[in-house]
Amino acid sequence: MLGKVNHIAIAVPDLATATATYRDTLGATVSAPQALPEHGVTVVFVELPNTKVELLEPLGAASPIAAFLEKSPAGGMHHICYEVDDILAVRDRLVASGARVLGDGNPKTGAHGKPVLFLHPKDFLGTLVELEEV
Amino acid sequence: MLGKVNHIAIAVPDLATATATYRDTLGATVSAPQALPEHGVTVVFVELPNTKVELLEPLGAASPIAAFLEKSPAGGMHHICYEVDDILAVRDRLVASGARVLGDGNPKTGAHGKPVLFLHPKDFLGTLVELEEV
C-alpha cells in the first residue's frame, strides 16, 4: 500500500538559516522558497538522490506548525510523507481499520499540486503521517 | 556531500505493535527484529521502494532512546540517517564548520555493519542526524 517516502519534513523557526545549514554546512542542493498560504507554511526542498527533506517555516498567524515550534523552538522533525497510488482507497481502508484522518477527511492540494491527507499521530507511533497521491 | 536518506528512525515503546502498524495497517514489508546491544536498541526495518523506516525499541537499562520515550511515550521521529562516501572527511569538515559530533567523535558500527556517527541536534535544526558511510 505504501509507496516511496516522498519527503521528510522538518519544522524550522528561520528558513534562511535552515537552508544555509543544508546548503552550506551539509553541501546539499536546495530549492527556492515556496509560499503555501493554504497550508500556512513556506517550504524549501532539500533534494537528495532518493527523496527530499522539506524545510517548513510558519506563514501567517494561524500556521499549523506554530504550536510545534512553541514546544520545540529550535525546530525538529515534523512529519513523514508516503506516496500512495489511490489516496481515497487508502483513506477508506485506514478509516475502516480504525485510523483517524485529520481535518474533514478530504484530501487537500499539497506542495506538489497533488492530493494529500494527514493521519493522526496517535494512530501511527506518535508520528504525523502525510499521504500523497502520485 | 550528503548522499541518500538511508533511513528515518522512529522510536517506539513496543516493537510488536509498531511492526503490526506498518505491516498490517499500512501494508508495508517489514524485516525481522534485530537486537543491537551496542546501541541499546532492537530494530525492525520497514522496506520502502526508495529508503527505509527504522523502528527502534529500547534494549537494556541504558538505552539511548529511553529519555526520548519518557518525553514522548507514544513514540515519535527520532533521527534521520544520511549516507556519505567518506565519514571521516565529512566529520572533519563539519567539525571545522563548528558542528558538534556526539560521543567521542569516532564512528561506531551501525545496524548495517557500516561506520556511523551522530551529529548534535542543536546544530541541525533540532534534528538528530546520523551519518553512515556506504
Pick from A61, A81, A96: nearest CA to A131: A81
pLDDT value, residue B77: 98
**A48 → closest Cβ in B2, B76, B77:** B2
Given phi > 0 = left and psi -120 to 50 = alpha, else beta, which region is A105? left
pLDDT score, position B112: 83
**How far is A60 from A63, CA to CA, in rounded Å?**
6
Res. A92 pLDDT band, cuts 50 70 90:
very high
Please indicate whether, in this complex, the C-beta atoms of B21 and A55 are within 8 angstroms of each other. no
Residue A100, burial from CB neighbour count under 10 angstroms (0-12, 13-18, 19+): middle
Cell of B31: 524485516
Q: What is the amino acid identity at position A58?
A: P
ipTM field: 0.95
Chain A residues in contact with B10 (beta carbon < 8 A): 125-127
- Closest partner residue to A49 (CB to CB) among B4, B27, B99 is B4
Domain extent listing, chain B = 5-133
| Residue showing cell 558500527 | B109
CA A4 to chain centre: 14
Contact B125 A18 (CB under 8 A): yes
Closest chain A C-alpha to B131 CA, distance in angstroms: 11
Domain B5-133 of CATH type 3.10.180.10: yes
Q: What does residue B19 show for φ and ψ, rounded to 5 degrees? A: -60, -45
- CB-CB: which of A50, A53, A99 is closest to B25? A99
pLDDT tens digit sequence for B63-119 = 999 999 999 999 999 999 999 999 999 999 999 999 999 999 999 998 788 999 999
In this prediction, residue B105 carries a pLDDT of: 93
| A71 phi, psi to nearest 5 deg | -75, -35
